[in-house]
Structure 1
Amino acid sequence: MNSVVVPNLSAASLDAEKLALLARGMEGLSAAQLYWVAAWSAEQAVQAQRSGSAVVAVAGKTPDRMTIVYGSQTGNAKRIAEQLARRSEAAGLPVRLLRADAYPQRELALERHLVIVISTQGDGEPPDDARGLFEFIAGKRAPKLPALRFAVLGLGDSSYPQFCVIGRQLDARLAELGGSRFAALGEADVEVEAVATPWAEQTLEQVRELLKQAGTPARVTPLHAVPSRSSQSREQPFMATVLANQRIVARDSERDVRHIELSLEGSGLRYEPGDALGVWPRNPPALVEQWLDALRFDGALKVTHQDRTLALRQWLGQEREITRLNRPFIAALAAASGDGGLTRVLQPEHAAEFAALLAVDQPIDLLHRHPATWQPEMLVAALRPLAPRLYSIASSPKAVGEEVHLTVAVVDYEAHGSAHWGAASDLLAATDEDGRLPVFIEPNERFRLPADGSRDIIMIGPGTGVAPFRAFVQERRESGASGRNWLFFGNRHFTSDFLYQVEWQQALKDGSLHRLDLAFSRDSTDKTYVQQRLREQGAELHAWLKAGANIYVCGDSSHMARDVHAALIDVIATYGSQSPDVAKAWLGELLQQGRYARDVY
Structure 2
Amino acid sequence: MMNLDPTRWAIVATMLLAYGGMCAAIWRSRRSVATATGTADWLVLHASQTGTGEYLAARTRDTLATGGLSVHVASLDALDEEQLRAAQRVLFIVSTYGEGDPPDSGARFARMISTTRANLGHLHYGVLALGDSSYSHYCGFGRRVDSALAGLGAQALFERVEADRVAPAAIETWQHHLSHLAGTSDAPDWSAPDYGQWRITERTLLNAGSAGAPVYLLGLKPVDGSRPQWQAGDLVQVSAPADPDYPREYSIASLPADGRIELVVRLHVHEDGTHGAASGWLCSGAAEADTIRMRVREHRRFQAGDNATRPMILIGNGTGIAGLRSHIKNRPQGRTWLLFGERSAAHDALFGDELRQWHQAGSLEQLDLAYSRDGGEHTYVQHLLAVRTAMLRAWIADGAAIYVCGSLQGMAGGVHEVLIDALGQDTLDQLDAQGRYRRDVY
How has the CA–CA distance of structure 1 residues 235 and 472 changed in structure 2, closer, same or farther, with 3 Å as cutoff? closer
Report the equivalent of 2:21: 16
Larger radius of gyration: 1
Name 1:496's counterpart in structure 2: 347
| Counterpart code for 1:400 | D
The residue type paired with residue 348 of structure 2 is D
2:267 maps to 1:410: yes
Given candidates 216, 228, 236, the residue that maps to 1:258 is: 216
Unaligned stretches of 5+ in structure 1?
Answer: 1-14, 25-53, 210-217, 284-317, 320-385, 573-582
Q: Which residue of 2 aligns with 1:275?
A: 234
Q: Does 1:62 align with 2:38?
A: yes
- Go from structure 1 to structure 2 and tell me whether the alpha carbon gap of 1:424 and 1:237 turns closer, same or farther (over 3 Å shift): same
Q: Where does 1:115-154 land on structure 2 (aligned, <5 Å)?
A: 115-140=91-116, 143-154=118-129
2:258 to 393, 400, 410: 400
Aligned partner of 1:138: which letter? Answer: S
- Asked whether the 8 Å contact 1:551–1:595 carries over to 2, the reply is yes
Give the whole-Å Cα distance in 1 for the aligned partners of 2:37 and 2:130.
31
Question: Does the 8 Å CA contact 2:37/2:88 hold for their aligned counterparts?
Answer: no
CA offset at residue 472 of structure 1?
Answer: 0.5
- Aligned counterparts of 2:391 and 2:179: Cα–Cα separation in 1: 52
Q: Aligned residue for 1:177?
A: 152
One-letter amino acid of the structure 2 residue matched with residue 93 of structure 1: L
Q: Which moved more, 1:244-253 or 1:403-412?
A: 244-253
Aligned to 1:459: 314
Aligned equivalents of 1:127, 1:87: Cα separation in 2 = 25
Tell me how far 1:178 sits from its aligned partner. Answer: 2.6
Q: Deviations over 1:358-386 (max 9, x none)?
A: xxxxxxxxxxxxxxxxxxxxxxxxxxxx4
1:122–1:557 contact (8 Å) kept in structure 2: yes
How far did residue 252 of structure 1 move?
Answer: 5.1
How many angstroms apart in 1 are the aligned matches of 2:368 and 2:236? 28
Partners of 2:303 and 2:24 lie apart in 1 by 16
Task: Give the direction of change, closer, same or farther, for the CA distance of 1:108–1:407 in structure 2 (3 Å limit).
Answer: same
Q: Residue 56 of structure 1: CA displacement?
A: 11
1:18-417 equivalences under 5 Å are 62-63=38-39, 65-103=41-79, 106-140=82-116, 143-205=118-180, 207-208=181-182, 234=192, 236-251=194-209, 253-264=211-222, 266-267=225-226, 269-283=228-242, 318=243, 386-397=245-256, 399-401=257-259, 403-412=260-269, 415=271
- Supply the distance in 2 between the matched residues of 1:190 and 1:453 (Cα, whole angstroms): 32
- What secondary structure is seen at the aligned counterpart in 1 of 2:229? coil
CA contact (8 A) 1:245 1:433 kept: no
Alignment partners' CA distance in 2, 1:395 and 1:491: 20
Q: Which moved more, 1:142-151 or 1:102-111?
A: 102-111
CA distance in 2, matches of 1:166, 1:134: 8
Closer, same or farther: CA 531–55 of 1 in aligned 2, 3 Å: closer
How large is the Cα RMSD of the aligned pairs? 3.2
What secondary structure is seen at the aligned counterpart in 2 of 1:173? Answer: helix
Identity of aligned residues (%): 33
**How many pairs align?**
418
CA contact (8 A) 1:151 1:203 kept: no
Alignment partner, residue 538 of structure 1? 389
Secondary structure of 1:420's counterpart equals: coil
Partner amino acid for 2:435?
G
CA–CA distance in 2 between the matches of 1:202 and 1:120? 22
Taking the aligned partners of 1:63 and 1:451, their CA distance within structure 2 comes to 28
**Which residue does the alignment assign to 1:436?**
291
SS in 1 for 2:375: coil
Give SS of 1:387's match: strand
1:16 counterpart letter in structure 2? G
Alignment of 1:416-427 (within 5 A): 418-427=272-281
Which residue in 2 is equivalent to 1:31? Answer: none
TM (norm. structure 1) is 0.64
Matched residue SS, 1:280: strand
Match of 1:349 in 2: none
Name whichever structure is richer in strand by fraction: 2
Gaps of 5+ in 2: 1-19
Q: Give the corresponding residue for 2:356.
A: 505
User: Structure 1 residues 77, 267: closer, same or farther in 2, change over 3 A?
Assistant: farther
Rounded to whole Å, the distance in 2 between the matches of 1:132 and 1:542 is 23
Distance in 2 between the 1:551 and 1:202 partners? 39
